[in-house]
Amino acid sequence: MKKILVLTLALMMTACATMTRQRGFVFPDDLYTQVENITTTRQLIDAFGHPAAQTVHGPVVWIYYGARENHRGPLPLTWDERTVMLAWVDGARVTEIQILRDDDLPAVRVARGETPIPAAIELSAIQELFNNIGRFTPAGLGQ
């Protein structure tokens, strides 16, 4: 009976645990005032470091992002204070900076399951087993 009680209490305590992690860049409170005078990429790197990502196609945009990830026991994962800073760069010059906060960001639903791979061959466990027969040489043959 004591084991069941201890197990139940331990389970209840872990279900109540909360944990917050910072993901990405930690933006300062005075972000808007810091961004006002930035005109070159050197100033941008000195103030915020190198970007987390850059665009590949189209105009060059440096992307900085940060968010707090909240874990609360068995409840679903939540995010707060999400911020994305976009800086349009033309050579060594910063042409525009845009800051997006929680309300400005679109709600993106992540699909459950797996992404199908085009032209992928899906085999069962038995087919995989028989496919591997003869592929491996016995130990010590040196092939």
**In the chain, which ranges are E strands?**
18-24, 53-54, 61-72, 78-90, 93-100
Q: How far apart are CA 36 and CA 50, in angstroms?
A: 18
The pLDDT of residue 61 is 92
| pLDDT tens-place string over residues 80-110 | 777 888 899 988 899 999 888 877 877 777 7
Reported pTM? 0.58
Mean pLDDT of 107-118: 78
Residues 6+ apart with CB under 8 A from 48: 25, 64, 85
| pLDDT tens-place string over residues 10-28 | 666 665 667 788 888 888 8
Contact 68, 21 (CB under 8 A): yes
Q: How far apart are CA 142 and CA 48, in angstroms?
A: 55
What is the separation of C-alpha 141 from the centre of its chain, rounded to a whole number of angstroms? 46
Residue 28: closest CA among 9, 47, 12, 45: 47
Phi and psi at residue 25, to the nearest 5°: -85, 140
